[in-house]
Amino acid sequence: MASLLAGLFFLAQGLMFPVVLSAAQQATPFNDVAPDHWALKYIVNLSARDIMSGDNNGNFRPDQPISQLEAVLLAVRCMGQDNAISEVNADADLPFEVPSWANKGVFKKELLFAVEQGLLVPSQKDFIASDFASRAWISQLMVRLIGKQSEAFTMNSTTPDFIDADEMPSWSIGYINAALKYDLISKFPDGSFKPEQLVTRAQTATLLTRAEPYLTPSANQVEGPITALSPDTIGLQVGQAVMGYTLTDDSYLFDLNDKACTWDALKLGDYANLVIDGAKIEYLAISEPPAATITPQPQPVFEQGGTETFHKSGLVYLVSAKKRLIVLSTDGPPLAYLVSTAARISIPGIENATLNDIQDNDYVELTITNGIITQITVQ
């Protein structure tokens, strides 16, 4: 029994169940990013991951062009390689000119790491820290970021299908082709690419978010199909575990169309990408599942049920008030469920019963909605 309880560490501790609205329905993290801004999802993602931030006045400046130096530093931070970056020898010299603030501390380590990983190739002399990043230049950076340089080289002789293809620098053609193939960047509605157009901060957030599937996740990123759903709790299958996360009034949710939404727009089985702070959801975005998603059965099995209320009865195999968890015995694997803090608990002879009053081997009838227990009756 103790070993089973230990194996359920993946459930969030102290799950709370207030009725909340997503912050995305109330405000945005920055004064100058409207709730209907086209890049809100991407800006929130990078902000929640502490990769991009605003200024001291609470502005993000989404339309401000980004420098090549800033773009490289942001790309490195998206790689999920903090430990490797910390081991970089900061005594080495940078092979290019940068401002004094970028030639020391973590900034210098990040730039040296960018060289080590091939994001910057000093011999090609294609990096000028103070220059603004163009669409052609950032296509090169993004392709290098996801490790597709070799493929880009093989695509250099194929002219991209744009009305302004003749305006593309010759060195950029393979990178632009690769960036298009991996959905990192796209054409404008008029069929142009605008290779020399400067890239804004909002566009950079978009590109970096699109690169995430090809990068190592950061420690605060998780993804998987939704297995349980309520106004304040989401169960997510992460690998071979089911983990519980808490929605708060600071959680930002986005649907498959990249639009801000509330929890009731989500569905069981939706594939979700989360940025978390402990057990709290800071950012959730629905996406298409990976092509080769494997859904292993965790032990115990967390029964999904359905979108409507249903009932389940049986002997209690394990109950944990701390983790708000009930596990029922079955002929097969035990079935586990999360318990709402608003759940009604009825036990003969006990007024105002709580989870602490339920014992192993009690026979219970459970009312379950969206994978969350809302009522428990002990027979």
User: Which pLDDT score is estimated for 26?
Assistant: 55
Confidence of residue 244 (pLDDT cuts 50, 70, 90): confident
Output the six-digit token pair for 229: 């759903």
DSSP annotation of 168: S
What is the rounded CA–CA span in Å between residue 303 and residue 297?
A: 10
Residue 158 Cα distances to 18, 88, 114, 134, 204, angstroms: 56, 38, 28, 21, 26
User: Which pLDDT score is estimated for 14?
Assistant: 27
Q: What mean pLDDT, rounded, does the chain reach? A: 86
What is the rounded CA–CA span in Å between residue 287 and residue 307?
A: 20
Confidence of residue 15 (pLDDT cuts 50, 70, 90): very low
Residues in the chain: 379
Inform me whether the pLDDT recorded for 91 exceeds 60.
yes
Domains in the chain, start-ordered, CATH in brackets? 50-214 (no CATH), 301-378 (2.40.50.320)
pLDDT in tens, 275-284: 999 989 999 9
Inform me whether the pLDDT recorded for 134 exceeds 90.
yes
Burial readout 263-280 (b: 16 or more C-beta within 10 A, e: otherwise): beebebebbbbbbbeebb
Residue 283: beta bridge partners? 252, 275
Helices (H), 78-172: 82-86, 105-116, 135-145, 149-154
The radius of gyration computed from the CA coordinates of the chain, to the nearest angstrom, equals 25
User: Which pLDDT score is estimated for 323?
Assistant: 63
| Among the listed residues 12, 13, 42, 16, the one whose alpha carbon sits nearest the alpha carbon of residue 30 | 42
Output the six-digit token pair for 158: 């194929």
What is the rounded CA–CA span in Å between residue 136 and residue 71?
A: 13
Output the six-digit token pair for 92: 């080495």
Percent of the chain scored above 70 by pLDDT?
A: 86
Mean pLDDT computed over 212-241: 88
How far from each other are the two terminal CA atoms of the chain, in whole angstroms? 23
Residue 225: beta bridge partners? 271
**What residues contact residue 315 under an 8 Å CB cut-off, 6+ apart?**
328, 329, 361, 362, 363, 364
| Among the listed residues 148, 250, 141, the one whose alpha carbon sits nearest the alpha carbon of residue 199 | 141
Mean pLDDT computed over 56-63: 96
Output the six-digit token pair for 58: 């609470």
| Among the listed residues 2, 10, 4, the one whose alpha carbon sits nearest the alpha carbon of residue 333 | 4
Selected residue with higher pLDDT from 233 and 197: 197
Helix (H, G, I), strand (E, B) or coil at 194: coil
Inform me whether the pLDDT recorded for 27 exceeds 80.
no
pTM of the model: 0.74
334 burial (CB, 10 Å; 0-12 / 13-18 / 19+) is middle
Mean pLDDT computed over 137-160: 96
User: Which pLDDT score is estimated for 268?
Assistant: 86
- 275 close to 335: Cβ distance less than 8 angstroms: no
DSSP annotation of 252: E
Please work out, in degrees rounded to the nearest 5, the angle formed at the alpha carbon of residue 339 by the alpha carbons of 300 and 350: 115
Output the furthest CA–CA distance in the chain (Å, rounded).
Answer: 83
| Among the listed residues 361, 363, 326, 362, the one whose alpha carbon sits nearest the alpha carbon of residue 343 | 326
- 49 close to 221: Cβ distance less than 8 angstroms: yes
Burial readout 15-34 (b: 16 or more C-beta within 10 A, e: otherwise): bebeebebbbeeebbbebbe
What is the rounded CA–CA span in Å between residue 322 and residue 308?
A: 27
